[in-house]
Amino acid sequence: MGSDGRNVYTKDPDARAGYRTGNANHPGGSYIGREAHFGVAVPKLVNTDTVRWAKFGPDVAPFIVTADLVPAGTHRAKAVIDSLIDASRRGLCGDVIADGGYTVMNPTSLHLPLQRAGIGLTMRPSVHQRGEKPGVGAARLVDGHLFAAQLPNDLVDLPLPPRGASNDAKKPYTDAFERRAAYRYGRIKAPGADGTTRWQHPVKTGTLRSRKVPRSMRHSTTAPLIELEDGVDLASVTAGADALPHSQRCLLGTTAWHQSMGRRQLAETANSQLHGAVGSLTDISRGYTKLRDSGRINMFFYATLAGYNHLVADRWRHDHGDLEPTGVDPTPKTPRRRGPRRGRARRYDDLPVLAGPAPPR
């Protein structure tokens, strides 16, 4: 038994038992060893209307920004949260696109610490994280976001499109989520040091209209027109971070959310470059080292990642025309010229021009 209260099965005192999912290289099942968690750089989400469009920053090289090597079976969210917050303090992390293996766990380990640190989170919620939860004031909490009480019931439980679906196949699902988005509360106060936010009713933000609120009728005619009962509560609401643990900057299922989640493919590309796929830069899969000393394993592990980042930077600069790839002489090559022939006649163009008509061509 180790000092952490977990069983030690091998001579390596820091190795633990865990479970890994299957892929093309190995089947799924239990194993003993360590797990590596990577944070890969992707373009920043600069601005969005939360529904129909998202604007991203310039393309960036897929560097490994954070890396944590921990015993197998370690709580995934707890293994990466400190590195993410540290990267945010150094200006290297503004928002996170997290895999489902991290977001499926209790919000207190990942979601809430990120909100308190001012780091946005984009994720695909699991089944138990979706649906309607207890709201805040007069607002209804559906799929992690606040909606007006007038939200139609047929827009509460909406299915997400299948994974890998084409854009045409996604459109019916996306249209339903965007119809629901008109009933969303608008945020009027960014998260403070404690993650507290303030939200305004959609009739006041302009995404809904009602004749009971004459000023709302000045908004765009594309906003749905609803009937409000007398005395309905249109006041703003204040929500703490723990009240909105699954809140996202882009509303779930909308076009903006799909665009934001699309950046995750860049991180998967970096993972394939590390795990020995075809054309990869290195292979740190199982069997990468045969050492049992954690200090030496970390030395080889982080040295490999540093080399990976060096190759990525080299390729990036070469693809963008800033630098020739390593190992290639950047100086231009001059064509080799043959010297004058010796011992026999030179080429005909070196001979003196003879009198008479020009030779045929």
Spell out the domain ranges in the chain: 1-123+248-319, 129-241
**What is the pLDDT confidence band of residue 361, given thresholds at 50, 70 and 90?**
low
Instruction: Please tell me the distance from the alpha carbon of residue 215 to that of residue 267, in angstroms, as a whole number.
Output: 46
Query: Could you report how far apart the first and last alpha carbons of the chain are, in Å?
Result: 93
**What is the pLDDT confidence band of residue 333, given thresholds at 50, 70 and 90?**
low
Q: CA distances (Å), 9 to each of 4, 169, 320, 357, in order?
A: 14, 48, 49, 97
Opening angle at CA 10, ends 8 and 16, nearest 5: 45
Enclosing H/E stretch for 245: none
Query: Percent of the chain scored above 70 by pLDDT?
Result: 86
| Residues 48 and 105 sit within 8 Å (Cβ to Cβ) | no
| Residues 138 and 236 sit within 8 Å (Cβ to Cβ) | no
Instruction: Please tell me the distance from the alpha carbon of residue 25 to that of residue 274, in angstroms, as a whole number.
Output: 13
Residue in the structure block whose two tokens are 């990120």: 114
Predicted structure pTM score: 0.82
Question: What does the pLDDT look like over 138-191, one tens digit per residue?
Answer: 999 999 999 999 999 999 999 999 988 898 999 999 999 999 999 999 999 877
Question: What does the pLDDT look like over 80-89, one tens digit per residue?
Answer: 999 999 999 9
pLDDT of residue 320: 81
Residue 98: strand, helix, or coil: coil
